[in-house]
Chains A and B, each alone.
Chain A
Amino acid sequence: MNLLEVNNGNWVRVLGVAGGIEMERRLAQLGFLPGNKVRIIRSAPFHGPLLLDVEGREIVLGRGVAIKVIVEYLS
């Protein structure tokens, strides 16, 4: 499952990032590391970006990026 499939307000856990080493490096910087918890705070209309809570910091990801973040629901 990727981040785009998650509904607003839900908590998920990061499993990995697809899309090559550059993407991994960029997202690793902002806390998208395996095991970290992420919540979708809100999303912008018209297929706009997602606003996420990543370990206490708010990060905006465009849809093209969010689709590359592989996650699972916290059980």
Chain B
Amino acid sequence: MRFALIGQPNCGKSTLFNQVAGYRAETGNFAGTTVTFTETKVRVLGDVVELVDLPGTYTLLATNPAERVVLDYLIEKPVDAIINVVDATHLVQGLTLTLELMELGRPIVLVINMMDEAKRQGLKLDGEALSQLLGIPVMPMIATRGQGIREAFAQTWHMARKSTIPTPPAYRDEIEQAILALKSEIDKTEFPVSRRAIGIKLLEGDPTLTDQVGRKVPAIKNLVQTQWDSLCHQSSVQAVWLIASERQKLARELTEKVTTQEKMRLTLRDRLDDYLLHPFWGYVFLLAILALFFYGVYGFGSWLEAPLLNFFNNLDATVLNALHSNGLLAQVISGAIQGISGGLAIVLPYLLPFLIGLGFLEDIGYLTRIAFLMDSLMHRIGLHGKAIVPFILGYGCNVPAIMSTRIMEDKRDRFLSAALSTMIPCAARLAVIFGLVAFYVGPWAALGIYLYNIFVIALTGKIITHFLPEDSPGLILEMPVYRLPTLKTVTAKAWFRIREFIFEAWPVLIIGSIVLAVMNFYSVTDYINTALQPFNWLLGLPKQVGTPLVFGIFRKELSMIMLAQAFGTTNYAAVMTTQQMIVFTVFVVFYIPCFATMISIRNELGSKAMWAITGLTVLVATLAALLVRVVFLIV
């Protein structure tokens, strides 16, 4: 059996999914956290059920690639039951989607989530009555606390077993006639959802489906056009609007019948935006929050880095001493120690506070506020506020950042925000910036690199926009309410991301260091370093950085961790000047997105975009690093 979680953005689908699957799907308090589907197996009443978490979608109109995922999934894979999650505090909007889902001809269970929020707002809901009116089960839930989950799954299991198909809502006569007119042609096609749903989607002008049906029934395009003309003639609005208005009318009537609103008391949470979105204080708070974040990460990280580095340096020296040799074995062991120390002493101390802080900002609902405040600035670099989401996620990891460009409607906007967000220093590069520059040169230099990075990205955006002019009208985004993050979700999310570093990246760092040790031993690195010599000469970097930079393409941390091997010491201050450290770090921040990021660019935007972006980053990295060097020479 297969159950699909479907609902509007930010209603808690992934939270519900994680409650039964362990933390596997990212959650966050903004519309568009999930942009792809995640599947898991769960046991329900003795059966093994495939459960799938899908991106949020306002309607099944598929207006951006993330929403497209939902419709494609439904018309490609047979789903035995739909678990439709609705935010209790936005019942009218939620029910419009429910009505649309009821058309699909699949068993469906309506889950009313966020019952705690509804209670806080003084909203009373009669689930029994709603269930009667819709003819489908209605289950209350508080996903964050795990309340109502077991019951909802049991209910869904029963519906799937009995294969209870809901009665689709009836629309006004003109629409029903138009659906009927298409029916005989649609009967010739094969989809795992009802013919009626396909007819309605065609009337709404879904491009992909029109093509798919058109391949079997070439006449369908003209037939739909005729229906559009007659609908437009009768009611003077587009078919899409007509159907959407019908659903909204029904949803509103339902909501009025089943809810009662009590007087609600305004709390600080409801007035917070008066400060945080204030035309002046909003920006002051934004800067203060980011500064606090920066110093929190620096303070915590450097407090741990110094003693840990010390420990590993001593260990390394002791081991080399004890082995009394410069043989291969000693080099390999020393390489392994440096790999381990790099992960533990340099990366984790900064990664931990950073990810907890980022998770906190996401869950509280601040991301969309930043998009609101920064929209006008983003237009200067040819994007709009929505691109803030990939940018901010990019500080954690570029891969989810690239994927999140799916929430943007325009292809050109997706390309540009993907290109620019690969230049955002992710957590791996954060380790280089903090571990090298902040630690040896000082926090101000690290802050300078972050600001310089933003400046270069903005400049690049401006130049690209010159060739690829902005043509989308701009920002369309739902503003989530503030939520107090629960300790459980923040830690689960941080652990989810740190686990990835520990189990996927750290082994690569250790193996990379060992490989480098072996290559050093057999003098292979000399060839690579010599090949890159002109380049290092241009940037004024020591010869040995060549090989680490090449390895950095696999994992950005490698470019720094391997320096230890390349130089034979972790005391970087002894082997690099301040200028070299800064130029090196600037180059590392911009050059070639790591391997995983390149792959995800290819998946989202194609090979051409991948190579274009890779080439662009090398160019930008070289120029940006060169500029820093020139400034150093002048000063």
Contacts and interface: CB of A to CB of B under 8 A. Distances in A.
A26 B475 contact: no
Interface string A38-75: 00001011111101000111111111110010000000
Contacts of A5: none
Contact of B385 (A30, A49, A58): A49
Nearest to B237: A34
Nearest to B410: A22
Interface stretch (B157-165, B367-375, B435-443, B610-618): B367-375
B61 A29 contact: yes
Interface string B242-271: 001100100000000000000000000000
B156 interface: no
A4 to B, nearest CB: 12
A34 B279 CA distance: 31
Contact of B241 (A33, A58, A62): A33
Interface in A13-37: 16, 19, 21-31, 33-36
B372 A44 contact: yes
A44 B373 contact: yes
Given A24-B241, A44-B277, A44-B372, A49 B90 contact: no
Contact of A25 (B240, B282, B385, B472): B240
A26 B63 contact: yes
B198 interface: no
Contacts of A58: 478-479, 481
A59 B474 CA distance: 13
A30 B384 CA distance: 18
A47 B376 contact: yes
B454 to A, nearest CB: 17
Contacts of A68: 473
A33 B245 contact: yes
A45 B281 CA distance: 11
A65 B205 CA distance: 21
B375 A48 contact: yes
A48 B90 contact: no
A16 to B, nearest CB: 8
A26 B376 contact: no
B240 A21 contact: yes
B604 interface: no
Given A25-B61, A44-B277, A55 B376 contact: no
Nearest to A60: B477
A56 B92 contact: yes
Given A21-B240, A57-B93, A60-B372, 5 more contacts: A21-B205, A22-B409, A36-B248, A45-B280, A60-B375
17 contacts: A21-B238, A22-B63, A28-B61, A33-B244, A44-B279, A44-B376, A45-B280, A48-B373, A49-B475, A51-B479, A55-B93, A56-B90, A58-B479, A60-B375, A60-B385, A61-B475, A62-B379
Interface of B: 58-59, 61, 63, 90, 92-93, 204-205, 237-238, 240-241, 244-245, 248, 273, 277, 279-280, 282, 368, 371-373, 375-377, 379, 384-385, 409, 472-479, 481
Interface of A: 16, 19, 21-31, 33-36, 42, 44-49, 51, 55-65, 68
